[in-house]
């Protein structure tokens, strides 16, 4: 089952934000609290609480960033 092309910006935003939230929250959690028993649960909880902020942010900001990159690159 393929997602129609018209949804490509939303799929891009969903995937990019999910990957970034997963990586960043794991790194921040490991730096601040170390890898401990319960790390995976705390990391998952962090991802679930921050992704709803990251997804709309990426979706709204991505077109602006693309335009800015287009202006500053040759």
Query: In this predicted model, what pLDDT tens digit does every residue of 13-60 receive, in sequence order?
Result: 999 999 999 999 999 999 999 999 999 999 999 999 999 999 999 999
Whether the Cβ atoms of residue 51 and residue 21 lie closer than 8 Å to each other: yes
Q: What's the pLDDT score for residue 1?
A: 84
Q: Give the distance from CA 26 to its chain's centroid.
A: 12
Kindly list the distances between the CA atom of residue 5 and the CA atoms of 18, 53, 57, 60, 72, in Å, as whole numbers in the listed order. 20, 24, 21, 18, 28
Q: What's the pLDDT at 58?
A: 95
**pLDDT computed for residue 2 by the predictor:** 93
Other Cβ atoms within 10 Å of 25 Cβ, number: 21
Which alpha helices (H) appear in 1-74, and where do they start and end?
Answer: 8-33, 39-72
Q: Is the pLDDT of residue 74 over 90?
A: no
């Amino acid at each position: 089952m393929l997602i129609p092309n018209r949804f490509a910006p939303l799929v891009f935003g969903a995937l990019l934000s999910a990957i970034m939230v997963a990586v960043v929250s794991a790194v921040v959690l490991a730096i601040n609290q170390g890898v401990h028993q319960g790390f995976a649960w705390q990391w998952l909880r962090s991802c679930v609480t921050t992704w709803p902020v990251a997804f709309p942010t990426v979706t709204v900001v991505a077109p602006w960033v693309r335009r800015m990159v287009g202006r500053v690159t040759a």
